[in-house]
Amino acid sequence: LQELVQMGLLMFVSNGLLLSVSVFVLGAVSWRLLLLCLICVPPVLIASVKFQRDSNAAYLDVRDGIGSTLTRLQEGIAGVRVVQAFGREDVESSRFAARNWSLFDAHMRSVKVSAWYLPIIELSGLLTTAVAVGVGGWWVHTGELGIGTVTFFVLTLSNLFEPIQQLSQLFNILQSAGAALDKLFALLDTPVDVPERPGAVDLPERGDIDVEGLGFSYASGSPVLTGVDLHIPSGTRIALVGPTGAGKSTLAKLIARLYDPTVGSVRFGGVDLRDATRSSLRERVVVVPQEGFLFNGTILENIRLARAGATDGEVLEALQAIGAVERFESLPEGLLTEVQERGARFSAGEKQLVSLARAALADPAVLVLDEATSSLDPGTEVVVEHAVNKLMEGRTVIVIAHRLSTAERADLVGVVADGRLLELGTHPELVKAGGSYAALFATWSGGIGRSGLLPSP
Ligand code: ADP
């Protein structure tokens, strides 16, 4: 694309101009010779059409090849620890080499396509000159044309073929750029999963969450959630518990409108999330994932991600609010410490703290938390737990709980199993009711001394 934009227009205008002026001058000098020269048009035309077909396919292959080669490379580098751990270096190298060779082949095919095209154009030029010299020479011999006229014609003829050659090169660039555009548009045209409706309204500052008759299935499968009804009053903390794959995360994602329900609805303060503006939705509802992700840049910039216009003071306040300032200020360059290599030098707990600080800076009404399953080092664990508790104050919280203590402390506990909300109530209520939560609780209490993590029910 860059090549086309930088040189394309220039090439097109200058060569187009040269070509049309040359045709005009040649026609004025001897229109009969010019007509003869047109014998070169059919082969050039046929070659161009064939070239266009073949090169289009070849360039698309090259683009696909570049995409999959880079993907394999990126995967290999990102997963280098796993590869090393299982001694798979050779296998991975040869898989990459195979991909790389097929990219090489694709390049070679595209080179071959233009390798025959350009000589055909050149050959047509030479043939035409030969015809002009031969026939022109004969007409000089018969006295129909002057020798000066034919000489001028043959010399000017080169001005006809150079632009044609240049324009065919431009055609080549155009084909390659077309293939690039195809790829770009395929990406840009990806439909948005959760579009904003025309006339969408802002969500109210605070409000209850109402889930009604909620059902959901991912694009390619059977229902993951069915008939979920749930009322979460503003300011309530609800813990979702249940076996892996039950649908807890999916329910949390629907409440944050990362997806739209297949049936039923999720409302916040009476407004269906599908009718809400995206900006107000992202302001009110913030999702804190299990693992914090750090971008290149300073810690300060990483936290500021949550609210672009926030001042340094506001970022600091957010960190203070969750009690995590000391943790970062003790670094050699404090909050201005650069995150490199996706935060490889920061512990999981520190990454989590950045995530929590981002949420504090965004200051949402609703917090969707996916509790970390892996345990952190004891020192950090305390700081993170404290930060989570501070962050939850005064907000509606939906937490996917993996720890008994989290479920115990929540105002409400929802047991999700097989895509349904089986039980809902406070911890004491559910324990007393003697249902599945009570059974789980009995098992968990037995195992709490060992890990504090909820065993798989
Ligand atoms: P939980 O959080 O309770 O472990 P999830 O909500 O993550 O459960 O998953 C519920 C079900 O949905 C599982 O069977 C899982 O395989 C499936 N699932 C989760 N995410 C996706 C996805 N992006 N595409 C397709 N299926 C998914």
- Asked if residues 396 and 410 have their Cβ atoms less than 8 Å apart, the reply is no
Residue nearest to atom 7 of ligand 1 (CA): 249
pLDDT of residue 451: 46
Query: pLDDT tens-digit profile of 390-429?
Result: 889 889 999 998 887 888 889 999 999 999 999 999 999 9
pLDDT-above-70 percentage for the chain: 97
Write out the H or E segment, with its range, that includes residue 112: helix 89-141
Ligand 1, atom nearest to 246 Cα:
3
Query: What is the token pair recorded at 375?
Result: 């345990």
Q: Which residues form the pocket of ligand 1, taking CB atoms under 6 Å from any ligand atom? A: 218, 221, 224, 242, 244-250
Confidence band, pLDDT 50/70/90 cuts, at residue 453: low
* H helices present in 341-435, as ranges: 348-362, 378-392, 404-409, 427-433
- Asked if residues 67 and 112 have their Cβ atoms less than 8 Å apart, the reply is no
Query: pLDDT tens-digit profile of 21-46?
Result: 999 999 999 899 999 888 877 888 88
3-state secondary structure of 239: strand
DSSP string of 63-76?
HHHHHHHHHHHHHH
pLDDT of residue 109: 92
245: CA distance to ligand 1 center in Å?
6
The gap from C-alpha 203 to its chain's centroid, in whole angstroms, comes to: 27
Ligand 1, atom nearest to 400 Cα:
2
218: CA distance to ligand 1 center in Å?
8
Instruction: Output DSSP code: residue 341.
Output: G
Distance CA 52, CA 47 (A): 8
Ligand 1, atom nearest to 244 Cα:
4
Confidence band, pLDDT 50/70/90 cuts, at residue 457: very low
Residue nearest to atom 20 of ligand 1 (CA): 250
Confidence band, pLDDT 50/70/90 cuts, at residue 86: very high
pLDDT of residue 411: 93
370: CA distance to ligand 1 center in Å?
14
Give the global pTM: 0.72
- Identify the CA nearest to 354 among candidates 414, 306, 421: 306
Confidence band, pLDDT 50/70/90 cuts, at residue 280: very high
pLDDT of residue 375: 67
Distance CA 304, CA 315 (A): 6
Residue nearest to atom 22 of ligand 1 (CA): 218
Confidence band, pLDDT 50/70/90 cuts, at residue 455: low
344: CA distance to ligand 1 center in Å?
28
Residue nearest to atom 25 of ligand 1 (CA): 218
Beta bridge partners of 338: 298
Average pLDDT over residues 96-116: 92
Per-residue pLDDT for 98 more than 70?
yes
Residue nearest to atom 15 of ligand 1 (CA): 245
Q: Best mutation site among 218, 373, 402, 415 for ligand 1, i.e. most ligand atoms within 8 A of its Cβ?
A: 218
Average pLDDT over residues 229-236: 94
Per-residue pLDDT for 297 more than 90?
no
Residue nearest to atom 26 of ligand 1 (CA): 218
Write out the H or E segment, with its range, that includes residue 10: helix 9-29
| Residues 6+ positions from 182 with CB-CB distance below 8 Å | 60, 63
Confidence band, pLDDT 50/70/90 cuts, at residue 89: very high
Ligand 1, atom nearest to 225 Cα:
10
Ligand 1, atom nearest to 242 Cα:
3
pLDDT-above-90 percentage for the chain: 44
225: CA distance to ligand 1 center in Å?
10
Per-residue pLDDT for 198 more than 80?
yes
Query: pLDDT tens-digit profile of 350-373?
Result: 888 899 999 999 999 999 998 877
Per-residue pLDDT for 165 more than 90?
no
pLDDT of residue 43: 82
pLDDT of residue 450: 44
Instruction: Output DSSP code: residue 5.
Output: I
Distance CA 398, CA 413 (A): 10
Residue nearest to atom 24 of ligand 1 (CA): 218
Residue nearest to atom 12 of ligand 1 (CA): 224
The mean pLDDT of the chain is 88
Q: Within 10 A of 391 (CB to CB), how many other CB atoms are there?
A: 25
Q: Best mutation site among 194, 224, 248, 290 for ligand 1, i.e. most ligand atoms within 8 A of its Cβ?
A: 224
Distance CA 109, CA 99 (A): 15
Per-residue pLDDT for 223 more than 50?
yes
Query: What is the token pair recorded at 72?
Result: 């394999």
